């Protein structure tokens, strides 16, 4: 049992970029009694969430919901569309892109990992981990593949390890410009429902997502949005799959049911989340996250610390990575902030370990919770002996005060 008696007063500040803070409304919806997953009420719930989630992916085609973390949905995307020894082109934007590439290799897929080939003054060990996908590199590689050996192009939409987004429409244009038949698979585990995403319009064949980031749910369900071309590819794909197999699930989903026991209470939560997100309107949801991101970046700029994302055109609206000065262990700063202020920040992953930390601005947040997060980080940096150029708290307050949320987001007077 968790030692709740030692829990500090007030709310914990869960400012990692997923799991994100879950709104009380969603927690309450999840607390309803579990029902028979073969009974009539369940079919209503199943059909409702399966139709609502398509609106979030912006697709007319099936979306599969798995009782699994995002990693499971990565495996589902690969195993349903590819055969052993198939060659795929992946793009190294950060730690999550690297983990997906490692998984593909373990599944017996032959992978080629494209990366930014320039240099970086702050992070010479990982120059590509500060930028988004360069579609021209993908186009050039596909043009050289005259025998069409490359079966899929795999990219991450919002690289959660770095706070960098990638322009997915430009990747689709690159594939089309090269006249290449490869499938386009996109990890939008942390982008969906926070950053603009359009499965059909951008010609994505499989989009992978998860519950615990933009959808504001606890971890435990994940998604594959699938195009007709991906469903067609499934018919000849030879990688072993059973639990992940799309065909049986798509068939039973037509009536709102699953071949096995789905995650009933998380589906109650999903239903509530869809009401909240679609009720607010996706464009407003995206604008809200953009504004939060700008407010938090104002703090980092005021501190005079480098933002992990080196290209302002692709700043993530979901999280902001902060590079600590040479010699300052970012994990020690995080630990101190957690101990002193009950605030959890994201750690530096993989090649970034100890060199940066991540501040999430997603889930059940608002201007004041984000000002509080910035305050916790500012106190922690000072206590760690980091020389700051100015006050980030002041900069964030100035940003939010000076950039009122659109009227629709404000409370009535
Ligand atoms: C969180 C995340 C994952 C991993 O998902 P799990 O639910 O932890 O399995 C993969 N890719 C991205 C971009 C993520 O943000």
**Is the separation of the CB atoms in 308 and 132 below 8 Å?**
no
Cα 110 to middle of ligand 1, angstroms: 22
**Mean pLDDT, rounded, of the chain:** 96
Where in the chain are the domains? 13-20+281-412, 24-279
| Atom 5 of ligand 1: nearest residue by CA position | 70
Q: How much distance in Å is there from the Cα of 71 to the middle of ligand 1? A: 6
- Determine the distance separating the centroid of ligand 1 and the alpha carbon of 17, expressed in angstroms: 10
Best residue among 75, 190, 211 to mutate for probing ligand 1's pocket (most ligand atoms within 8 Å of CB) is: 190
- 413 pLDDT band (50/70/90 cuts)? low
Phi, psi angles (nearest 5°) of residue 198: -140, 90
Mean pLDDT value of segment 260-267: 98
Q: What CATH architecture is 13-20+281-412?
A: Alpha-Beta Complex (3.90)
Residue 359, helix vs strand vs coil: strand
Atom number of ligand 1 nearest to Cα 222: 7
CA count, 13 A, side-chain hemisphere, 38: 3
- Check whether 301 has a pLDDT greater than 80: yes
Write the residue with the smallest CA distance to atom 4 of ligand 1.
70
pLDDT in tens, 153-195: 999 999 999 999 999 999 999 999 999 999 999 999 999 999 9
Residues with CB under 6 A from ligand 1: 18, 69-71, 96, 156, 160, 187, 189-190, 210, 213, 219
Place of tokens 């988004």: 132
- Categorize the per-residue pLDDT at 117 as very low, low, confident or very high, splitting at 50, 70 and 90: confident
| Mutate which of 98, 160, 221 for ligand 1 pocket (most atoms within 8 A of beta carbon) | 160
Residue 56 pLDDT > 90 = yes
Mean pLDDT score, 271-278: 98
CA of 391 to the centre of ligand 1 (A): 33
| pLDDT category of residue 405 using cuts at 50, 70 and 90 | confident
Closest residue by CA, ligand 1 atom 2: 189
- Coil, strand or helix at 127: helix
Does the pLDDT of residue 304 top 60, yes or no?
Answer: yes
What pLDDT band is residue 406 in, cutting at 50, 70 and 90? Answer: confident
Q: 164 is written with which tokens?
A: 């960098």
- pLDDT at res. 7: 67
* Distance from chain centroid for Cα 135: 20
Taking the alpha carbons of 48, 50, 56, 60 in that order, is the dihedral positive or negative?
Answer: negative
Asked if 174 and 203 touch (Cβ cutoff 8 Å), the reply is no
User: Would the pLDDT of 210 be above 60?
Assistant: yes
> Nearest to residue 190, comparing CAs of 153, 170, 152, 219?
219
What pLDDT does 4 receive? 59
pLDDT of residue 270: 98
**pLDDT at residue 262 tops 90:** yes
d(CA 180, CA 147): 10
Residue spans of beta strands (DSSP E) within 76-165: 87-91, 110-114, 150-156, 158-159, 164-165
Six token digits for residue 244: 């992940």
- End-to-end CA distance of the chain: give it in Å, rounded: 45
Ligand 1 closest atom vs CA 69: 7
pLDDT for residue 157: 98
Of 210, 212, 358, which is best to mutate to test ligand 1, by the most ligand atoms within 8 angstroms of its C-beta? 210
21 φ/ψ angles, rounded to the nearest 5 degrees: -60, 130
Hey, how many other C-beta atoms are within 10 angstroms of the C-beta on 38? Answer: 10
Q: Where does the pLDDT of residue 407 fall: very low under 50, low under 70, confident under 90, or very high at 90 and above?
A: low
Largest pairwise CA distance in the chain:
65
Q: Which ligand 1 atom is at minimum distance from the Cα of 73?
A: 9
Report the CATH number of the 24-279 domain. Answer: 3.40.640.10
pLDDT in tens, 222-254: 999 999 999 999 999 999 999 999 999 999 999
CA angle 292, 296, 301 (to 5 degrees): 140
User: What's the 189 CA to ligand 1 centre distance in angstroms?
Assistant: 6
* Spacing, Cα 382 to ligand 1 middle (Å): 31
- The kind and range of the H/E element at 51 are helix 40-57
| Cβ neighbours for 347, distance < 8 A, ≥ 6 positions apart | 330, 331, 334, 353, 357, 358
Strands (E), 48-134: 63-66, 87-91, 110-114
Best residue among 18, 102, 162 to mutate for probing ligand 1, ranked by most atoms within 8 Å of CB:
18
Q: Which of 26, 89, 92, 66 is nearest to 270 (CA)?
A: 26
Give me the mean pLDDT over the 247-276 stretch.
Answer: 98
> What is the chain's length?
413
Rounded Cα–Cα distance for residues 112 and 125 (Å): 20
Q: What is the pTM of this model?
A: 0.97
């Amino acid at each position: 049992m968790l030692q709740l008696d030692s829990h500090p007063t007030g709310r914990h500040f869960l400012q990692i970029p997923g799991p994100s803070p879950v709104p009380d409304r969603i927690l309450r919806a999840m607390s309803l009694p579990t029902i028979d997953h073969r009974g009539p009420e369940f079919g209503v719930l199943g059909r409702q969430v399966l139709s609502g989630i398509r609106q979030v992916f912006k697709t007319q085609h099936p979306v599969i919901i798995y009782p699994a973390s995002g990693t499971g949905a990565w495996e589902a995307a690969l195993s349903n569309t590819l055969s052993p020894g198939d060659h795929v082109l992946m793009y190294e934007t950060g730690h999550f892109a690297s983990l997906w590439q490692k998984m593909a290799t373990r599944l017996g897929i032959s992978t080629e990992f494209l990366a930014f080939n320039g240099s970086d003054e702050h992070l010479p060990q990982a120059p590509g981990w500060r930028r988004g996908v360069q579609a021209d590199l993908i186009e050039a590689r596909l043009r050289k593949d005259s025998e069409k050996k490359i079966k899929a192009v795999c990219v991450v939409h919002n690289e959660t390890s770095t706070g960098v987004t990638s322009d997915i429409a430009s990747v689709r244009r690159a594939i089309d410009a090269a006249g290449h038949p490869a499938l386009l698979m996109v990890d939008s585990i942390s982008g969906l429902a926070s950053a603009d995403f359009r499965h059909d319009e951008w010609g994505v064949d499989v989009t992978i997502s998860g519950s615990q980031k933009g959808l504001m749910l606890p971890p435990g369900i994940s998604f594959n949005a699938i195009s007709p071309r991906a469903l067609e590819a499934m018919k000849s794909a030879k990688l072993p799959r059973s639990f992940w197999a799309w065909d049986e699930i798509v068939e039973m989903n037509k009536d709102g049911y699953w071949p096995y026991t789905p995650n009933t209470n998380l589906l109650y939560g999903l239903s509530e989340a869809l009401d909240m997100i679609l009720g607010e309107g996706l464009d407003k949801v995206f604008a809200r996250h953009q504004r939060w991101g700008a407010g938090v970046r104002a703090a980092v700029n005021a501190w005079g610390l480098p933002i992990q994302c080196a290209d302002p055109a692709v700043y993530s609206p979901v999280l902001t990575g902060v590079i600590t000065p040479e010699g300052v262990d970012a994990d020690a700063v995080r630990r101190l902030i957690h101990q002193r202020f009950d605030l959890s920040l994201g750690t530096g992953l993989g090649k970034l370990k100890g060199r940066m930390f991540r501040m999430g601005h997603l889930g059940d947040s608002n201007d004041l919770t984000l000002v509080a997060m910035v305050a916790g980080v500012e106190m922690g940096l000072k206590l760690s002996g980091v020389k700051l150029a100015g006050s980030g708290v002041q900069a964030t307050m100035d940003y939010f005060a000076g950039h009122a949320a659109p009227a629709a987001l404000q409370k009535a007077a």
